[in-house]
A and B are shown apart, each in its own frame.
Chain A
Amino acid sequence: MSRSGKRFYAGLGGLALLLALLPLAVTNPYYLNVLNVVALNVLVVIGLNLLIGYAGHISLGHAAFFGLGAYISGILTGSYGWEPWLTLVFAAAVVAVVATIIGVPTLRLKGNYLVMATLGFNLIVSVLMVQLDDITGGPSGYSGIPSLSFFGHAIVTDQSFYWLVWGAVLVGLGLARNLVHSRVGRGLKALHESPLAAAASGVPIEAYKVKVFVVSAVYASVAGSLYAHYYGIITPKTFDIFKSVELVTMCIIGGMGSLWGGLFGAGLITPLPQLLAVVEEYKDIIFGGILLVLLIFLPQGVVGWLEGKRVRPGGRAF
């Protein structure tokens, strides 16, 4: 195994250990709930980071994929009595198809056009969630979603969901690393270095980009399904464009192009609104201000900053 591979799996093992020990210290259900929401965001951000960091594309529509996963899972189990695990897989498959249909034409676009196309897609999905109220429950949301169960044990407590969702994060990280080091990942890396050389070496650029887009959408869908079964109720507001913006913010603050970045980004940004709830009146001002300062002075994100610290003293990395 390569050195970076060893480092990655050591990191993954360390994270697993930390996650196993954490519930010993954190028993308050409120804090467990925050940790669970962090994990859901981390899942989406891992996928989004593949797209932003490796394919170099920004999507302001990932909350829509998150929402599609949640709504498909919720409605099929709630109104039609499907088995929750089955709908999770089914939702991911539907989202993969939707992402392909959206991805093939939009990924030929660049820059602002792609931002607009993904943003527009998110807006359309949001409007549908509100307006198709016979199916979706309209603006007040869809409730009565059954919880997941594992070998006959219903995953209803914050504690049991903690194990499930953080387990999913570990699996998600491992899969993402494999993708980055696969033929597709290497192709995208080559594309970043030199598009011309990549194309000349026969890298099917557009097909690879669509693949990464679909994979990132599936991550969001799975997180959405988990979210729906965890809370039992979903509302359109949870999946609007502001959520999309928040998710990309987590990518940037954590560190673009780093698989670990999502952990830091989601870990920092997710609890912030809750912490700032004490100063309700100034919440948005402080949140916007912190974000602004971080983006101005720490644009390479937390991971980039940590790595930069390590490199600087000797002047070069070794």
Chain B
Amino acid sequence: MSFGDQIAQYVVSGLTTGAVYALVALGFCLIYNATRIVNFAQGDFLSLGGLMTYTFLTGVGLPMILAFPCAVVSVALVGAMMERLAIRPAKSRQVMVLIFITIAASILMRGIFKHLWGKDALALPPLSPEVPLRVLGATLTPQNLWVLGMTLAAIVALLWFFNRTLTGKAMRATSINPSAAALMGIDANRMTMYSFGLAGGLGALAGVLITPITSLSYEVGVIMGLKGFAAAVLGGYGSFVGAILGGLVLGLIESLSAGLISSVYKDAVAFVVLLLVLFLRPGGLMGVKSGERV
């Protein structure tokens, strides 16, 4: 394998994990735009997506083509429930308290997952049979293509939803100015609930796509959630374009540094780069103005 082929291979795997980070980062953005909080349970939506697919496949016996959407929808419902049962009844609107509510929800959810699915790693088959393709010297598996294609599809669907549907426009209006939106008769609580639902669905999608490549267990989402959070911050928190860009950049940096330098520090590299970016450009890559700086 020539050096060029190696680079091509690192780019392919970097873009694949990067696309998954982007999906998780988009989930963070949705909830941030609706509530200004960081949802630390975003990674658990990812775990649950994989686990639910596993159950629909082996427990219920559905074919993959049905198990996949069923998992995404069920996690979306869990996301909406989280808003309804934990965020909405909260006595405090302080962002710090709300963030910690999501952390508590994350601990609770992980406990439930561990109880229901056990501690051991489970296996999820790829979405289609593995026939490797060779493109520009790199080996591409169909799962790589599924990840990239589904991420692209999800982004297009989100764009359509926010620009073309009434609910999507109402959600955008609420995120820009909640009181003005309320005056127009938009139910802000419901919009927040939809945001959590969408974020749950996106997390689950990421989970179904990535777990055949990595592994599936009750806590697989923790580190993926953190990387997604890092991607969102890298891109400029709250910006959709930033989330996608941040995810891809983070995936590429990780894959190239693991391949060319050492895989031992892979998890640290992403955060070192992130800190450097934050120090030099506090608003993230897409932060137009340094609005988050005091």
Residues of A within 8 A of B (CB): 52, 58, 105-106, 108-113, 115-117, 119-121, 123-124, 127-128, 131, 195, 205, 241, 245, 248-249, 252, 256, 281-289, 291-292, 295-300
Do A131 and B265 form a contact, CB below 8 Å, given A117-B275, A124-B272, A300-B92?
yes
User: Is the pair B230, A116 in contact by a Cβ cutoff of 8 Å?
Assistant: yes
**A105-B278, A127-B267, A128-B268 known; A113+B233 contact, CB < 8 A:** yes
Answer whether residue B138 sits at the interface, using C-beta atoms and an 8 A cutoff.
Answer: no
28 CB contacts below 8 A, A to B, read A105-B278, A105-B279, A106-B278, A108-B282, A108-B294, A109-B293, A110-B292, A111-B36, A112-B32, A112-B38, A112-B237, A113-B233, A113-B237, A113-B282, A117-B275, A119-B229, A123-B226, A127-B265, A205-B294, A282-B115, A285-B108, A288-B105, A288-B111, A289-B108, A291-B104, A292-B104, A295-B100, A299-B90
Q: How far is the CB of A58 from chain B (nearest CB, A)?
A: 6
Q: Check: B146 CB closer than 8 A to any chain A CB.
A: no
Contacts of B292 in A (CB 8 A): 109-113
Closest 9 pairs between A and B when the two form their complex, measured CB to CB: A284-B111, A288-B108, A299-B92, A288-B107, A120-B271, A285-B111, A291-B104, A127-B268, A292-B104
Query: Is B241's CB within 8 Å of the partner chain A?
Result: no
Q: Which residues of B contact A116 (CB under 8 A)?
A: 229-230, 233, 274, 278
In contact, A256 and B96 (Cβ under 8 angstroms): yes
For the complex formed, measure the closest distance between the CB of A220 and the CB atoms of chain B, giving whole angstroms. Answer: 19
CB distance from B294 to the nearest CB of A (A): 5
Shortest C-beta distance, A282 to chain B (Å), equals 7
The A-contacting residues of B in range 107-123, CB under 8 angstroms, are 107-112, 114-115
Judge if B184 is at the interface, Cβ distance under 8 Å. Answer: no
B129 interfacial by beta-carbon distance below 8 Å:
no
Q: Is B101 an interface residue (CB 8 A)?
A: yes
- Chain B residues in 8 Å Cβ range of A131: 264-265
Is there contact, CB below 8 Å, between A111 and B95?
Answer: yes
CB distance A108 to B293 under 8 Å? Answer: yes
User: In the assembly, what is the distance between CA of A150 and CA of B101, in Å?
Assistant: 43
- Which A residues are in CB contact (< 8 Å) with B59? none
Q: Apart from A113-B278, A120-B272, A195-B294, what 20 extra A-B contacts exist at CB < 8 Å?
A: A109-B282, A109-B293, A110-B293, A113-B237, A113-B292, A116-B274, A117-B274, A120-B275, A121-B271, A124-B272, A127-B265, A205-B294, A282-B111, A285-B112, A288-B111, A291-B100, A291-B103, A291-B108, A295-B101, A300-B92
Q: What residues on B are CB-neighbors of A291 within 8 Å?
A: 100, 103-104, 107-108
Check A284–B282 contact: CB distance below 8 A. Answer: no
| A296–B111 CB distance below 8 A | no
Main SS at interface, chain B = helix
B86-108: CB near A (< 8 Å → 1, else 0) gives 10011110111101110111111
**Range of interface residues on B (Cβ < 8 Å):** 35 or more
A117 adjacent to B268 (CB under 8 Å) = no
Which residue on chain B has the smallest CB distance to residue A293? B104
Measured in the bound complex, the distance between the Cα atoms of B79 and A158 in whole Å is: 46
The answer for the CA separation of A192 and B226 in the assembled complex, in Å, is 30
Contacting pair A249 B103 (CB below 8 A)? yes
In the complex, the answer to whether B108 meets A252 with C-beta atoms within 8 Å is: no
Compute how far the CA of A256 lies from the CA of B114 in the bound complex, rounded to whole angstroms.
Answer: 32
A284 near B90 (CB under 8 angstroms)? no
- Known contacts: A113-B237, A120-B275. The answer to whether A295 contacts B115 by CB under 8 A is no
Contacting pair A296 B101 (CB below 8 A): yes
Residues of A within 8 A of B100 (CB): 248-249, 252, 291, 295
B103 touches A285 (CB 8 A): no
- Assess the B293–A292 pair: CB atoms within 8 A: no
List A contacts of B265 (CB < 8 A): 127, 131
- A138 to B144 CA separation, bound complex (whole angstroms): 34
**Neighbouring A residues of B107 by C-beta, 8 Å:** 284, 287-288, 291
Q: How far is the CA of A205 from the CA of B282 in the complex (A)?
A: 18
Assembled-state Cα–Cα distance A58/B38 (Å): 13
- What separation, in Å, do the CA atoms of A113 and B233 have in the docked complex? 7
Residues of A with C-beta under 8 A to B271:
120-121, 123-124
A120 to B250, CA, bound (A): 14
Q: Once the chains are docked, how many angstroms separate the CA of A116 from the CA of B233?
A: 7
Chain B residues whose C-beta falls within 8 Å of the C-beta of A128 in the assembled complex: 268
In Å, the complex CA distance between A281 and B105 comes to 18
B279 CB, min distance to chain A CBs, angstroms? 4
Determine whether the beta carbon of A58 is less than 8 Å from that of B96: yes
Contact of B293 with A124 in the complex, beta carbons under 8 Å: no
Residue ID in chain B nearest A122 by CB atoms = B271
- Chain B's nearest CB lies how many Å from the CB of A98? 13
Chain A residues contacting B97 (CB-CB under 8 Å) are: 252, 295, 299
List CB contacts (< 8 Å) of B128-185 with chain A. none
- How many whole Å from B277's CB to the nearest CB in chain A? 10
Mask: chain B, 234-265; 1 = CB below 8 Å from A; 0 = not: 00010000000000000000000000000011
Cβ contacts B16-49/A at 8 Å (1 or 0 each): 0000000000000000100010100000000000
List of A residues within 8 angstroms of B282 by Cβ: 108-109, 113
The answer, among A58, A117, A195, for a CB contact under 8 Å with B278, is A117
Q: How far is the CB of A214 from chain B (nearest CB, A)?
A: 18
A72 to B191, CA, bound (A): 50
B71 to chain A, nearest CB (A): 22
Pick from A112, A121, A285, A298: contact of B275, CB under 8 Å: A121
Q: Are B278 and A299 in contact (CB under 8 A)?
A: no
Asked if A252 and B109 make an inter-chain contact with CB atoms under 8 angstroms apart, the answer reads no
Determine the residue in chain B with the shortest Cβ distance to A289: B108
| Residue of B97, B107, B278 with most chain A CB atoms under a 10 A cut-off | B107
